[in-house]
Amino acid sequence: MGSSNSSVNNIPNAQELMQETGFSAAHILRLHERFEFLDKHKCGQLRPQDFGAVQELALNPIGDSIISAFFSPGQETVDFASFVRILAHFRPTDRNQSRDGAQQEPANSSIRKLKFAFQMYDQDRDGKISRAELLQVLRAMLGIQVTEEQLQSIAERAIQEADLDRDDAISFDEFRKSLEKVDIDHKMSIRFLR
Amino acid sequence: MELFFNPFDNLVCILLGISFTVWFTLLLVFIIVPAIFGVSFGIRRLYMKTLLKIFEWATLRIERGMYLDSAPEFEMSDIFYFARRGVESIMDDEVTKRFSAEELESWNLLTRSNNNFHYISLRLTVLWGLGLLIRYGFLLPLRVTLAFTGVGLLVVLTSVVGLLPNGRIKNFLSEKVHLMCYRICVRALTAIITYHDSENKPKNGGICVANHTSPIDVIILASDGCYAMVGQIHGGLIGVIQRSMVKACPHVWFERSEVKDRHLVAKRLSDHIEDKTKLPILIFPEGTCINNTSVMMFKKGSFEIGATVYPVAIKYDPRFGDAFWNSSKFGMVNYLLRMMSSWAIVCSVWYLPPMSREEGEDAVQFANRVKAAIARQGGLVDLLWDGGLKRGKVKDTFKEEQQKLYSKMLVGTQEDRSRS
């Protein structure tokens, strides 16, 4: 820790990133160190395999979905800026955040956190969680603990409760409505990132 | 009848005799001798790795189980937990782990640390039962034996060394004796300690300052270096230990009446420091045990003396059990028993570079600077609150500060409202 003589200035676009994401210089520095640690081939970009090296992630039921959240469709690598932008979603919301309508939605707002969570379900990114996608995620989370029938009935109930326009899929709005009462900031924030 | 019992008795005696001999030989070879020489077979680290693997497995089962329990009430929001954990592991800083460890979802097979424990599966319960058996049936007796050995040796040997005339030999022997006994105590707790930056270890004439989580802190630090302890003389067993320790090398023990007199305390400490042949003083400025997630206010007394301060940060790994001693809840013996019946105590110690009071800095500012350095290194939160909060009331100045902050918040929200 005491040996890090590198300052934030060595990182390209650090100031813009700090502005955009709200991370402090210390956090950017730390995340950069982490990025370089994950980047085993030292090419300045991360690949899905680099994420796969994180053991705990491999054990996570939705590990693959999380990894793919970092990569825009069609892209096979992610650079530091995008890495930080995604992680910014997990910053705790600033309570006394005051912004006028002209400013962009901050990365760690409730809506962005919800969108991230939605992406975990909506793998093909078509804006809707289909029954098949829901089943897939449920299977990953429950594994062999539940029988196929129980799985089906759980998925059925979930869709029935959330799907308001009866199109057999859950859109982002329906997703958001069903989570109205949930404290999203608390559940989708990593307190260390404050 | 007698004929029947005698051979059986003999057999039992022989068996007991053999098992005791084997037991003590193993103890001696694997634990006491390495402690004396300061080497390690690496058994504890292997043990720690194995434990971690088992905990991971147990955690997964619990997570699945908890999920299963709520399966009938599956919520779309359940994905949040996994998403967050996943991203945390990507960031996987040591520090994030420490922060999120407070909400310890992991289960280290100690029911006392998981309030949500309920029947998940037979396998898990069996494992827990086995764990209980091993901990209380095997580990606890082993550790208690070691603890008695360590403490007993400390008292006896320091008294013996105390008989020698003051000089280099006495200091040398005293150092060896202290280190050896503390190392045995470390093994008595199965403490697996990682020391970082040992080049910054405190030197004679300095004050070593560390954050305080439990009385074990003393043993952890003292097994890696020699310090002069500071404290109040107690009665009972601790008093006996204190009195014999001071025979071998000068520690700073105060009578209860002297503790109140701050000038006397400061004078004795500065006298001790000025003598460069005396060992560095070990002080815990927080004054009380804190739960190892934050560093509370440092009392300024030790920082007024004007010596070089060597900060040390101690951080316990919460995955293996909570080392925090809540002295208002548990007594010392109760606490030690809990510690000795846990799996292990894993912690990291960082020796930070020495700091001195700068020009124009008063004791309080210096204390805060040192505190910030320790908090940063240990990944602990730097808090303003006085540790004495656990027992007493909040000092008025702090109340005022918080009131100011709160009113700012209120006024801020008012402004927001009027704006929108």
Rounded distance, CA B162 to CA B146, Å?
A: 24
Residue B96, classified by CB atoms within 10 Å of its CB into exposed (0-12), middle (13-18) or buried (19+), is buried
The ranges of chain A annotated as CATH 1.10.238.10 are: 13-90, 107-194
Count of residues in chain B: 420
Q: What mean pLDDT, rounded, does chain B reach?
A: 75
Give the model confidence (pLDDT) of B288-341 as tens digits: 555 565 555 566 677 777 788 999 998 887 777 777 776 666 777 888 888 888
State the virtual CA torsion across B21, B31, B39, B135 in degrees, nearest 10.
150
Predicted pLDDT of residue B77: 75
pLDDT given at position B70: 46
CB B409 within 8 A of CB A96: yes
Look at residue B397 and tell me whether its pLDDT is greater than 60.
no
Long-range contacts, B306-309 (Cβ 8 Å, 24+): B306/B270, B306/B357, B307/B205, B307/B206, B307/B207, B307/B270, B307/B273, B308/B203, B308/B205, B308/B206, B308/B207, B308/B354, B308/B355, B308/B356, B309/B206, B309/B207, B309/B208, B309/B209, B309/B354, B309/B355, B309/B356, B309/B366, B309/B370
Task: Name residue B312's beta-bridge partners.
Answer: B210, B351
Digit-coded pLDDT (tens) for B169-223: 888 888 888 888 888 888 888 888 889 888 888 888 888 988 887 888 888 999 8
Choose between B128 and A79: higher pLDDT: A79
Q: Which SS3 state, helix, strand or coil, does residue A135 take?
A: helix
Q: Which residues of B touch A148 (CB under 8 A)?
A: none
State how far the Cα of B80 lies from the Cα of B312, in Å rounded to an integer: 37
Strands B294-295 and B381-382: parallel
Place of tokens 């109205």: A180
Q: Which of residues 42-71 of A touch B (CB under 8 A)?
A: 51, 54-57, 59-63, 66
Comparing B81 with B420, the larger pLDDT belongs to B81
Asked if A146 is an interface residue toward chain B (Cβ–Cβ < 8 A), one would say yes
Q: Is A178 in contact with B76 (Cβ distance < 8 A)? A: yes
H or E stretch covering A118: helix A110-121
Q: What's the DSSP call for residue A94?
A: P
Q: Which two tokens stand for residue B1?
A: 């009848």
Give the residue with greater pLDDT, B40 vs B165: B165
Residue B416 CB neighbours (<10 A): 12
How many whole angstroms separate alpha carbon B420 and alpha carbon B416? 6
Q: Of A79 and B93, which is predicted with more confidence?
A: A79
Q: Is the dihedral of CA B287, B291, B295, B297 positive or negative?
A: negative
Domain A13-90 bears CATH identifier 1.10.238.10? yes
Which residues of chain B neighbour A173 with C-beta distances below 8 Å?
none
Predicted confidence at residue B239, as pLDDT, reads: 83
Cβ-defined contact of B92 to A54 (cutoff 8 Å) = yes
User: What's chain A's average pLDDT?
Assistant: 81
Given A34, A60, A121, which is nearest B91 (Cβ)? A34
**Predicted confidence (pLDDT) per residue in B113-151, tens digit:** 444 445 556 777 787 788 888 888 888 888 888 888 888
Å between A16 CA and nearest CA of chain B: 21
Tell me, what amino acid is at B365?
A: Q
Task: Please give the ipTM for the structure prediction.
Answer: 0.88
d(CA B253, CA B231): 5
At B349 the pLDDT is 92
- Check B84 against A188: CB less than 8 A apart: yes
* Band of pLDDT at residue B415, cut at 50, 70 and 90: very low
- Eight-state DSSP code of residue A163: -
- The torsion region of residue B245 among left (phi > 0), alpha (psi -120 to 50) and beta comes to alpha
Q: Where does the pLDDT of residue B396 fall: very low under 50, low under 70, confident under 90, or very high at 90 and above?
A: very low
Position B106 scores a pLDDT of 44
Mean pLDDT confidence for B75-93: 79
pLDDT value of position B404: 52
Question: In A, which residues are within 8 Å of B75 by CB distance?
Answer: 182
Of residues B127 and B103, which shows the higher confidence score? Answer: B127
CB contact at 8 A, B278 and B270: no
| Lowest mean pLDDT across A116-120, A141-145, B11-15, B233-237 | A141-145
Residue in A1, A55, A175 nearest the CB of B377: A1
Share of chain B above pLDDT 70, in %: 73
pLDDT at B115: 40
Q: Tell me, what's the pLDDT at B351?
A: 93
**In this predicted structure, what is the pLDDT of residue B7?**
72
Which pairing describes strands B294-295 and B281-283: parallel, antiparallel, or unpaired?
Answer: unpaired
Report the b/e string of B149-172 with b at 16+ CB within 10 A: bbbebbbebbeebbeeeeeeebbe
Strand B381-382 to B345-351 pairing = unpaired
pTM: 0.55
CA angle B38, B44, B45 (to 5 degrees): 105
Q: Specify which of A26-40, B69-83, B95-109, B317-331 reaches the highest per-range mean pLDDT.
A: A26-40
For A107-194, the fitting CATH number among 3.90.180.10, 1.10.150.120, 1.10.238.10, 3.30.1490.20 is: 1.10.238.10
**Burial grade of B56 (CB within 10 A; 0-12, 13-18, 19 or more):** middle
d(CA B283, CA A118): 52
CA neighbor of A116 nearest in space, from B91, B89, B79? B79
The band of B388, judged by pLDDT with boundaries at 50, 70 and 90, is very low
DSSP letter string, A21-78: H---HHHHHHHHHHHHHH-TT-SSSB-HHHHHT-HHHHHSTTHHHHHHHHS-TT---B
Q: What is the pLDDT of residue B290?
A: 57
- The CA distance from B105 to B75, in Å, is 19
How far, in whole angstroms, is CA B37 from its chain's centroid?
Answer: 23
The answer to whether A143 faces chain B, any CB pair under 8 Å, is yes
Does the structure show a pLDDT above 50 at B88?
Answer: yes
Residue B61 has pLDDT above 60, yes or no: yes
Structure confidence at residue B326 (pLDDT): 67
Residue A170 forms beta bridges with which residues?
A129
Q: How far apart are CA B169 and CA A22, in angstroms?
A: 60
Confidence of residue A18 (pLDDT cuts 50, 70, 90): confident
Give dist(CA A75, CA A83) in Å, integer. Answer: 13
